[in-house]
Amino acid sequence: MRQRRQKMAKKIKVILLFGAPGCGKGTQGRMLGMLPGYVHLACGDVFRGIDQRSELGRIFSEYSTKGLLVPDEFTVRLWREHLNDMVATGRFKPDRDVLVLDGIPRNMQQAKLLKPFMQVIRAVEIRTDRDPEQLVARLRSRALKEGRADDAQEGIIRRRLEVYEKETTPVVGSYPKGIRAEVNGLQSPMEVARDIVCGILGCMLPSEAGCRRTDAIWRGCPRSGGKKKA
Ligand code: ADP
């Protein structure tokens, strides 16, 4: 029992941010990371932060330029090392802060590998599935602004969208409904931010609005400013 308590105490509190490439996950994650007690960590930024001429950098480039996921063991090891470094340098205080994780876990195997370290308090998905063309357009414009090779070619963008559907969507669905929130990503960044905060705080109205907790905002919950269902 004592041993179990010690193990539990080591788990970090995490909010998982999901969403297809181009949905605005990075912007929203950075915004949440500015709130007191919340620290943002994007897996893609960890990869882009390593020396691109190193062996690790070359592995990242090999996969990301094809629109594929970097192998799991390698990804999780790098992510853990980065997190340990954040703890050692005081950028993340596990006993006080909530980690806003963006871009990991991205498939079921990663979710399994991360499970022993984290206590997921919310899994938020930013949904844009009604308009994949808008995502393609957003990513192409990001390629011009940020010079990201994986955003430059339409074929690669479409493969990343497929990988999200096939590999990441099942991960979102694997968390209990009670901790999941879906947010309409086809709104202004401010509206998306409002709905994410609302989802994190759990301030949706399940029965009154005639909608379930997990999709209250997506369907337009009165309290989230959407239209009331007839
Ligand atoms: P986006 O969400 O727009 O695809 P990211 O910055 O999150 O952009 O990721 C860029 C690339 O980095 C991915 O296409 C993939 O190659 C790699 N990557 C990021 N996170 C992971 C992960 N958790 N597992 C495997 N590969 C990843």
| CA atoms within 13 Å, Cβ hemisphere of 55 | 2
Of 30-44, 136-150, 194-208, 211-225, minimum mean pLDDT range: 211-225
Residue 94 has pLDDT above 50, yes or no: yes
Please give the pLDDT value at position 130. Answer: 63
Pocket flag, ligand 1, residue 76 (CB < 6 Å): no
Please give the pLDDT value at position 35. Answer: 95
Pocket flag, ligand 1, residue 69 (CB < 6 Å): yes
Residue 148 has pLDDT above 90, yes or no: no
Using CA positions, which residue lies closest to atom 14 of ligand 1? 64
4-16: pLDDT as tens digits? 444 444 799 999 9
Q: Return d(Cα 190, Cα 46) in angstroms, integer.
A: 26
d(CA 167, ligand 1 centre) in Å:
12
104-130: pLDDT as tens digits? 999 999 999 999 999 999 999 999 876
The ligand 1 atom nearest the CA atom of 79: 23
Mean pLDDT of 66-85: 95
Please give the pLDDT value at position 225. Answer: 42
Please give the pLDDT value at position 223. Answer: 44
Q: What percent of the chain has pLDDT over 90?
A: 66
Using CA positions, which residue lies closest to atom 7 of ligand 1? 44
Please give the pLDDT value at position 201. Answer: 87
180-217: pLDDT as tens digits? 999 999 899 999 999 999 999 876 544 333 334 444 44
Structure tokens at 110: 């990663």
User: How big is the chain, counted in residues?
Assistant: 230
Contacts for 56 with CB less than 8 Å, ≥ 6 apart: 50, 74, 78
Element (H, E) at 201: helix 189-201
